[in-house]
Amino acid sequence: MLRYPLDTPGQSLWTSLNEHPYPAKPAGLFLSDAAFRASLHPATPVLLSAVYLLATTLANRRKSAPRDMVKASATLQHAVLAHNIFLCLYSAWTAIHVVSILAPYFAQGASAGGLSGFKTALCTVPTHDASSTGLLRFITLFYYSKFYEVVDSIILVLKGKKVSNLQVYHHSGAMLTMWAGVRYSASPIWLFAAFNGTIHACMYAWYAASSLKLPIPGVLKRGMTTLQIAQLVSGGLVASLYLWMAYDPQAYPRHALPSLGARLTLPEDYYGSKSNATMESLASSTVYRPILTAEAVRDKVASSLSASGTAPCVSSSGQAFAVALNVAYLVPLITLFVRFYIRSYLAKQKTQ
């Protein structure tokens, strides 16, 4: 089995996944420590996605003639509109914050070490920054939002429509893939939050406009589907690169440590600066696992350096699992979206 810098030698893959430290609870999160950890237990997304699959299957098998309950109720119409506006604004809020955190981080890496510094920044995205303005807060909330998004399917059922295989796979898979990214502090999970957040902001704005019965050109709907496919393909390609890339720790000396999901104790001068909020925010967190010191992480990364002085971009088996799961999820999802595109737009053109 391939070993990564932060894996414990001699452990099986299962043990490595099970023993991987939990991330710190983000500052200001509305959950207790116990509830936060429970939300990251694998049973949570597995059970909830299974319930969702069962519920949508039963709903699609209704034998009685369905009626549009939303159309018949002004209250439900207002609720649907509020749902779409909320997800539009929330998705935009997430994407804006993730980009505003990472754009300067990537730029500083490129400025410090050119392409090598940029790669180092990509490989050390601080997904474990649990401060109130840190990345972990936004990706954790984005993970929770995937459970709320099943309301989309409830709305379809209330309208008397069937829930498509595309939507069922999309929602159930998103619960599992976002869980893996947050649970194992996988650096490329930022792609999900930034790309998906941006597209969802546009998509739910479209839904809100449709709820208001505003005139929208049909070409925009086709363009929206094209954008969804483009972000899935580009996100999948970039995420898969994380499994093969390596970085030079010296190319961007002030980079964050690899995102490892552990609380760290750091000497003040470890990075030559007291202003590294990413690291300092973790030092004050309550510990769930034995503390892994910065020196220990540095030594682990140093011991994994290749002859060319580079370390693997993925630093643990847990992170590799999260990336692989996300990429594997995207392949069928892209296929379903392409089939939808062909059936909805190209096939209709041929019949006209």
Mean pLDDT of all residues belonging to the chain: 85
C-alpha neighbours within 13 Å on the C-beta side of residue 47? 7
Q: Is residue 1 part of a domain?
A: no
Q: Is residue 14 part of a domain?
A: no
Whole domain around residue 223: which residue ranges? 26-55+67-351
Which residue in this structure is represented by tokens 């990251």?
40
Count of structural domains within the chain = 1
Which residues have CB under 8 Å from 258's CB, separation 6+?
Answer: 5, 6, 123, 124, 187, 297, 301, 311, 315, 316
Which residues have CB under 8 Å from 276's CB, separation 6+?
Answer: 254, 256, 266, 270
Q: Which residues of the chain have pLDDT under 70?
A: 1-2, 65, 256-295, 347-352
Q: Is residue 99 part of a domain?
A: yes
Residue 264, pLDDT score:
43
- Cβ atoms of 67 and 190 within 8 Å: the answer is no
- Cβ atoms of 72 and 160 within 8 Å: the answer is no
Q: Is residue 222 part of a domain?
A: yes
Residue 65, pLDDT score:
67
Q: The dihedral of CA 229, 231, 237, 240: what is its sign? A: negative
Helices H / strands E in the chain, number of each: 14, 2
Q: Is residue 12 part of a domain?
A: no
Phi and psi dihedrals of 246, rounded to 5? -130, 155
Q: Is residue 87 part of a domain?
A: yes
Residue 293, pLDDT score:
61
Q: Is residue 7 part of a domain?
A: no
Residue 306, pLDDT score:
78
- Cβ atoms of 4 and 319 within 8 Å: the answer is yes
| Chain centroid offset of residue 138 CA | 10
Residue 237, pLDDT score:
96
- Tell me: the pLDDT tens digits for 254-280? 776 666 555 444 444 433 343 344 444
